[in-house]
Structure 1
Amino acid sequence: MSSYYGDRARDVPSWESWEAADDDDIVDTSEYAYASRDHILFCIDASKSMQIPFPDTTNEDGEVVRGKSALHQALEAVVKIQRSKVITGPADSVGVLLWNIDPGNTPSSSQASYKPGTQVYQKLRTINAEEIKRIVKLMERAKEQDDALGDDDGIKTKQPEIFSDNFPACDKEEELNIADVLVTCNFLFRDAGTNLAGNKRVFLVTDNDYPPGSKMNREPARTVYGDLSSYGISINTFFVDRPDHRFNPTLYWNDILQREPDDNAPETDEVPDVDGLAELADVMNDLVIRHAPKRVQFSIPLKFGGKNGDIEIGVSGYAMVSTQGKGQPKLVRMRGQTVEEVQIKSEYTSAETGAVLKDTEIGQAFQFGNEATVKNVIEPNWWESDEHQAEQQMVAEEALRLDLERRQKEDEGEEVEMAEATQGRSQQKNGGGDEKQKVIARTRLQFTSDEVAEFKSMGMKPQIKIIGFQSPDHLAIEENLKHSYFIYPNENDYTGSTRTFAALLKSCIKLNRHALAICRFRTNTQPEFCILIPQEESFTKDGGQDQPPGFHIVILPYRDDIRRPPKNMTDNLLATDRQAKLMSNIIKRLRIKAGHYRSEAYPNPSLAYHYAQLQSLAFEEDFDPTSTSAQELDKTFPKWWGMHKAAGDFMNEFNKSIEDDERATESLKPPTKRSTATQNDIPDLEEGDLRDLRGLWKTGKLDKAKVQELKDYAKFYKISLNSKTKKGDLIEIMSEYFENEKTGGNGGEKKKSKK
C-alpha cells in the first residue's frame, strides 16, 4: 500500500495533524466562555437641562466649535460603542433607556411594567445592524441640523430639533423618582431573558444631583439598587457638570448607591477644565478595544521534592500573550432572502475507484527518504528465513567448536550434551521445520494513533516536574523561543496547593533561584525543558494588585532548535566609542515618554483597517481609503518630523562620523576581478565560503552539492540561472558552464583569455 500524499511538501501532513484533540485537551470553558461578553444598558436623563447645549469653544486652529448638549454627547457615545461592538463584541448586548420624557408624547410600550415618563429607544438585546442603523440615522440627521445652524454666524447655539421631536422633555414637576427609573432598568434586564450571561452594567448619565424625592423618599431607591446588585447588575454613574453648577454626588447619589461619602467628594473651590462627559468618553475608548480574556490553557499537577517528586500540587497555566487575527469568514449559501451557513463534511475517496473510504481503511504514515523509491511490499521476513537461520546455526557451531578446543575436550560427556542442546535450540528456532514463517512488511511507515501518541509523549503524563534549581546567572535571553506561560495554584484537584505553592514561590524569591523542570502541558504535546521564573506580588499606589504572584514558565530550546547566527551579523565592523556615544544620544532623544511600550495605545493597523471596511459594508456607508479618518487607523506610523526635530542634529553628526570612518569606505568599495578567480582562489568548504564546485564537477560528484551552494556559486561568478530553482536544472546549467569553460566557449575561461 503506497502513501496517499504526493511529493509536494504542502501535501505532507504535519506532526500535530496525526492526533485529534483528546478528551483531556478539551478545556472547561465554563469559567471564561462569557468573560468577554458585555451587556450595557444606557440610562440617559433627557430632562430640559440635559438638552441645553454647552457654550461654544475654540479649537487650536482658532475655529469655533459649536457646543453640544449632554444628551447629544451621550447618544454619540452610544453610536460609537455599538458600531465598534459589531466587530469587537458581536455577542454583546446594548440597550438605550431615556427618562424624564413627556408622558403625553411617549410612544406606547408593549410592556405595561415600564414606568410612565420612560422611553425604551432600544431594547436590551444582542446588537444587530438594523437597530444600529436606526440610531445612526438619527445622529446623522442631528449633525445635518447642527451644521445648518453653524453656517450662520452670530446665531446662538441650539439643540437639533430632532432630539426635541423624538425625546420631548417633561416639566420640572413631572420628573421621575430615581426608584422608578431603576425599576424600569430591572425590568429591561428581566425581559432580555436568561441568556445575558456575563458582565451586566447600567451606564447612568444625569446632571441632576438632587432629583425628586431626594429628601423624604430614598428608601425605595436603595431597595431597588439592592435588587439590581443581587442580580449581578452594576451601575456606572457618569455625572454631568452644568456650566453654572458642579455636580455634587454627596447630596443624594452616594447614599442610594451605598458609596462612601468621601469617594466622590467634589472640590468646590476648583473649576473643571473639561466638559462633564469626559469620563464617559474615556470609558468608550476603552470599550472599543477588543480585550481577550485570560483563559486557562492547562490544569496539570506540579511535582517537586524527593527523587521522583514526592510533593504534588495542582496548578493552572495562562497565556499572557496571544495573537489577534481577523478571523475566518464563514461559508454561506445564498438562498432567496436568507443566508444559511454551510455545514462542512469531509470525506476521503479512493483515487482508483472513487469510492468513499471508511475510517478503518485509512492509516497514518510518515514520509521517510525519497517516497518514489519506497514501496510497502509484503514479503517474508529475512530474519526468519532459512538462509538467516542456517547462517546463525553456522555461527553457533563455530563458537561451540572454539569453546571445545579451548577446554581441550576435558569432558566428552559434556561436549555431547552441549552439542545436542545446541542442535535442539536450532531446531526450536527454525520451528522444527514445520511452522509457517511470518510475513511482514518490508518498510514500516504506518503507525496507529496510540503509537504516535507514545512517540510524542515518551511515556510522560501531562505534568510539570521540577528537577533542580539554579541561579539566574545561567539564563540567556536568546533561549526564550516561545511565548511563556504563567502558572497559578489550583485547589480543585489537590487541597492545600495554594499554601504549598506560596511556600515554594517565597523560597525561590528569597534565595534568588529559579526552577529547572521538564514539562508536558497537554496530552497532545511533547515534553519540553522549561525554567520557572518566580514573580513576587506587587501593588499600585492605590493599593490594588499590579502583578500577581506566580511563576513564568519559559520553554527552553533543544539542541536542534539552536542555529548559528548568519555570518553577516557576527562579522560586522564594531562602532568606535565616539560613534556609540552619538547613537546613545539619538536613542535618549527618541525614547518613549511613558518609559515603556504600551500595546493598548497602538492598535493593529491591519485589523483596524479590516474592521473599518466591515463596518462600512454593514452600515451601507462609503469607505474612502485615502480619507483622513482611514489614514488615522494606523497609529504606528513613525512621526518622523518630530524625530528629526528632537534628534536631527545628533543624526547628522552620527552620519558624518560614519562617512569619515575609513573602514566603512573600504567595505563599500565594489568587489573587482571576481571573474578572474581561479580554482586555487576558491577555498574548500568552510562555513560561509564557496565550495569547490569545479572540483566536484571534474570528479562527477556535482550532485553532492547543496542547492544553496549552487546558487551562491552562480551569484558570485554571475552565472545566469534563468530563474531555475530545482536542483537538477541548476546542476545542468553549472555542468554546461564548466564544459564551456573547459573548451573555451562562453564560460569563464574565454573571459579570462580576453582579459
Structure 2
Amino acid sequence: MSYSNYNNDENEEEEEEEVDPELLPKKDYVIFAIEATSAMEATDPDEHQSYISNALRCVARFLEAKFLMPEGDLVGVVLFGTQKKKNLMDFDNIYELFSLDAPDTDRMLELEKLTKNKAQFDSDIGTTDKFKLSEVFWTCSNIFAEAPKGPSTKRVFLITCNDSPHALDEAKSIITRAKDLADSGITVELFPLQPPNTEFKLELIYQGLPRIDRGGEEELDSTRIRHTYQEIFEGVMSKEAKKRTAFRVPFILSDGLVIGVKGYNIYIDQAKPKHHFLLSSTNEEVKPVMNLICQFVGATDRHKFENLHSSQYHVQATAAPLLPTDLSNRWDFGGKKVIFSKNEAAEMKHFGEPGLTLLGFKDKSVIDIDSLAETPNVKHSSFLYPSEVDYPGSSSVFAHMVERMHAKKKIAVGRLIPRRNAAPRLVALIPQTDSIEPDSPDKTKSIGSDPSNETKPIESDPPSENSPYGMWVIYLPFADDLRDADLPIEGDVSLDLMEPIAKKLTLKEFKIPTYENPSMQTFYAALATMALNKVEPEPIEDDTLPKTETIEKRAGQYIKSFNEVTEKHGGSRERSQLGVT
C-alpha cells in the first residue's frame, strides 16, 4: 500500500482511539416561538407584508437551509397569541404549528401558503392579544423533552414585538421558566421586532432573563432591534451556522501549571452536502463498499514485491479481498521502495499526547495580524477559549494571561498537538480582549495595567463588533514550508502608473459577511427548485463580479496608460479584463 502524502492517512490510526464526546458533531434542535398577536399584523414598509408573514418567511428560508444540509437537524414552530390552541399541555393561545421534526418540502409549502393567504391563517389559527410567555417556555421545554437523545444543541428562537409580556403574566413565572430552560441546556435567542411608531425596551424584562453558560461557547449578541424582513432574516440565518470545536487539550504553561482550553473553527470553507448513490431502477439508496484485492499472485517475498511490474508475476486478480493484516505501508526514498508495517508507520506519527505547550513570548510587532501579507499562517486560524471541564479554575488563569499579554503587547508561541497521532504545529497566540462598540468615542482600555500606570489607559486596536474574548491561534510555517517568490521587477515605471489605479479603485466599504458564495447559492437554488417542484430557480446575484462600468468611469484612463506602457516593455501580453477597450 503506497502513500503519496504522509498526512493523508493520519486518521487511520485515530479510529481505534477514544473519541472526545464534545468533539463529535452535534445535531441542532431549533424551535421557532413566534408571536402572532394583532401587533404583529402591522405592515413592514419595505416588504408590504405583515411582520408575522415576514417571520414565517424566515422560518421557510431556515427550513430550506436545513433541508439542503442533511445532518439530522430538527426544527419546530410554535405560535403564541393565537385564538386556536394546539399543544400537549392544552395551554390557551399557544398553537404548535410544526412538531420538532426533520425539515421537508410539505412544511415549506405549508408556510408559503400561510404567508400568502391571510384568510387561511385567520381561519385555521387566528390572532389574539392574550398569551403567557411562561407557558410558551413550558411548551418548548416539553417539545424538547420528546426529542431524540444524543449529542445536540437545543435553541428557542423567540420572535416578538412585545417588550412587556409580564403585563399579561407574572414576571416571576417567566424568569422561573426561563431558568428551567437554562438548567436543561436550552438557549433562548431573542429576536426583538420594532414595527413603525413603536419602541422595544429590552430593559423591561428581557435583559433580566437568565442566560446559559454553554461551557465557554459565547453567544453572539442577538438582541439588536430589527425593523424589516431583511434584518429578521439576516439575524436568523446568522444563527444557522454551528460552532465547531476543533480540539480540547490541556494548556501547559509551566511545570505544575496546566489549564484546560478549547479551540474553535471560526472560519472554515463551506462545502456542498455529500451526494448519495441511488439504484437507478428503484431510486433506493445504495451503500458503496470498497475491498482491496491483490492483482499479483505468487509474489511472496520482498524481492518479488519490489519487482511487481515484471510480467512473470502479473496474473488475473483474485476474488478474495485482502485483510488488514495482509497490508503494509510503502514510501519511495532514493529510488527504493521502503516498506513499513502498520505499527511502524503509526510510531513515526506519534509525537506525544494532545496538548498545547507554552514555549515563550514575543513582541506583538513580530506578527502583524492586521496585515494579511505579513501574517505567516499556513491554514485558517482557530480561536482559543478556556474550558473548565477537566481543569477547574482555567477561566481565571486564562483571563489574566490574556489581559497581561494585551497590556504588555506580547504574543505567545506554543507547540500544539490537537489530537492523537497528529503532527505538532508551531502556533502564535494573539490575545483579544472584549469588543469595543464601534460608535464609542473612547477607543482605549485600561486592561491589566500596572498600579503605577492606572491613569494612563493602554491603547487597544479597535476589534470588530461582537469580538469574543480569548486568543487567536495562528498556525506558523516550519522552515520546510517557506517558499521564495523570485519575481522579476521591471523598474518603477509601471509601479508609478499603478498607484493612481489603486487609489481610484479602493473599496471604502468591504464587509466579508455580505458576500455569499455564488457557486453554493446556485447549487442550493437548483436543489430547492427540484425539491419544491418549482418552474425555475430563483435568480442568484453574484456580488463577486466586477462593476466594469464603475471601474471604467473611475480609472479607465489610468488603466489604458498602464496597458500601453506594459505592452511596450513586455511585448504582447494579455490585457486585463476590466471592460477597457
Determine the structure 2 residue equivalent to 1:653: 558
| Residues 631 and 531 (structure 1), Cα distance of their counterparts in 2 relative to 1, 3 Å cut | closer
Query: Secondary structure of the equivalent of 2:289?
Result: coil
| Residues 302 and 318 (structure 1), Cα distance of their counterparts in 2 relative to 1, 3 Å cut | farther
| Residues 233 and 345 (structure 1), Cα distance of their counterparts in 2 relative to 1, 3 Å cut | same
108, 111, 118: which one pairs with 1:132? Answer: 108
| Residues 617 and 364 (structure 1), Cα distance of their counterparts in 2 relative to 1, 3 Å cut | same
Query: Secondary structure of the equivalent of 2:534?
Result: coil
- Contact map agreement 1:27 1:298 (CA 8 A) in 2: no
Determine the structure 1 residue equivalent to 2:503: 588
The one-letter amino acid of 1:667's match is G
| Residues 69 and 354 (structure 1), Cα distance of their counterparts in 2 relative to 1, 3 Å cut | closer
Q: List per-residue Cα deviations over 1:195-243 (Å, max 9, x = no partner).
A: 6941321424356x788x94797665565555455543526253453x6
Query: Secondary structure of the equivalent of 2:190?
Result: strand
The one-letter amino acid of 2:234's match is N
Q: List per-residue Cα deviations over 1:171-202 (Å, max 9, x = no partner).
A: x8xx4555555554454444556569413214
The one-letter amino acid of 1:254's match is L
TM-score scaled by length of structure 1: 0.56
CA shift for structure 1 position 447 = 1.0
Determine the structure 1 residue equivalent to 2:517: 604
The one-letter amino acid of 2:324's match is D
- Contact map agreement 2:428 2:476 (CA 8 A) in 1: no
CA shift for structure 1 position 166 = 3.0
Determine the structure 2 residue equivalent to 1:199: 154
Determine the structure 2 residue equivalent to 1:539: 435
- Contact map agreement 2:433 2:468 (CA 8 A) in 1: yes
Query: Secondary structure of the equivalent of 2:158?
Result: strand
Query: Secondary structure of the equivalent of 1:42?
Result: strand
- Contact map agreement 2:132 2:169 (CA 8 A) in 1: no
The one-letter amino acid of 1:326's match is K
- Contact map agreement 2:356 2:416 (CA 8 A) in 1: yes
The one-letter amino acid of 1:605's match is P
| Residues 506 and 79 (structure 1), Cα distance of their counterparts in 2 relative to 1, 3 Å cut | closer
- 1:525 is aligned to 2:422: yes
552, 559, 583: which one pairs with 2:473? Answer: 552
Output aligned runs, 1:209-608, within 5 Å: 214=167, 224-225=177-178, 227-231=180-184, 232=186, 234=188, 236=190, 238-241=192-195, 246=198, 254-255=204-205, 258=208, 278=227, 281-288=230-237, 291-297=241-247, 299-302=249-252, 315-333=261-279, 339-340=284-285, 342=287, 344=289, 346-349=291-294, 351-352=296-297, 353-368=318-333, 445-457=338-350, 462-464=354-356, 477=374, 479-488=376-385, 514=411, 519-528=416-425, 530-541=426-437, 546-550=467-471, 552-559=473-480, 561-566=481-486, 569=487, 571-576=488-493, 580=495, 583-594=498-509, 597-608=510-521
The one-letter amino acid of 1:590's match is L
Distance 2:469 2:424 in 1: 27
- Contact map agreement 1:461 1:523 (CA 8 A) in 2: yes
Output aligned runs, 1:36-75, within 5 Å: 37-47=28-38, 50-51=40-41, 54=43, 67-75=48-56
Distance 1:523 1:196 in 2: 22
Distance 2:95 2:376 in 1: 61
Query: Secondary structure of the equivalent of 1:344?
Result: coil
State which structure, 1 or 2, has the greater radius of gyration over its C-alpha atoms.
1
Higher RCO (C-alpha 8 Å, min separation 6) = 2
- 1:165 is aligned to 2:123: yes
CA shift for structure 1 position 604 = 1.4
The one-letter amino acid of 1:555's match is L
Distance 1:188 1:598 in 2: 38
Determine the structure 2 residue equivalent to 1:399: none
The one-letter amino acid of 2:332's match is Q
Q: Bigger CA drift: 22-31 or 291-300?
A: 22-31
Determine the structure 1 residue equivalent to 2:64: 83
636, 639, 643: which one pairs with 2:551? Answer: 643
CA shift for structure 1 position 523 = 3.6
Q: List per-residue Cα deviations over 1:74-130 (Å, max 9, x = no partner).
A: 322322222222225754333333445445xx7xx5x66323454332223332223
Q: List per-residue Cα deviations over 1:481-526 (Å, max 9, x = no partner).
A: 3334444555655666666666766666566555555554444233
Unmatched segments (≥5 aa) in structure 2: 211-224, 298-317, 368-372, 446-464, 574-581
TM-score scaled by length of structure 2: 0.70
Distance 1:247 1:349 in 2: 74
CA shift for structure 1 position 356 = 2.6
| Residues 32 and 591 (structure 1), Cα distance of their counterparts in 2 relative to 1, 3 Å cut | farther
- Contact map agreement 2:359 2:415 (CA 8 A) in 1: yes
| Residues 531 and 285 (structure 1), Cα distance of their counterparts in 2 relative to 1, 3 Å cut | closer
Q: Aligned-pair RMSD on alpha carbons? A: 4.4
| Residues 537 and 162 (structure 1), Cα distance of their counterparts in 2 relative to 1, 3 Å cut | same
Distance 1:281 1:102 in 2: 28
| Residues 590 and 348 (structure 1), Cα distance of their counterparts in 2 relative to 1, 3 Å cut | same
CA shift for structure 1 position 347 = 4.3
Query: Secondary structure of the equivalent of 1:615?
Result: helix
- Contact map agreement 1:616 1:622 (CA 8 A) in 2: yes
Output aligned runs, 1:22-33, within 5 Å: 22=14, 27-30=19-22, 33=25
- 1:623 is aligned to 2:536: yes
The one-letter amino acid of 1:37's match is D
Q: How many residues align?
A: 506
| Residues 190 and 254 (structure 1), Cα distance of their counterparts in 2 relative to 1, 3 Å cut | farther
- Contact map agreement 1:93 1:127 (CA 8 A) in 2: yes
Q: List per-residue Cα deviations over 1:425-483 (Å, max 9, x = no partner).
A: xxxxxxxxxxxxxxxxxxx72212232233344x6555555556555676693853333
CA shift for structure 1 position 28 = 1.7
Query: Secondary structure of the equivalent of 2:96?
Result: strand
The one-letter amino acid of 2:55's match is A
CA shift for structure 1 position 282 = 1.8
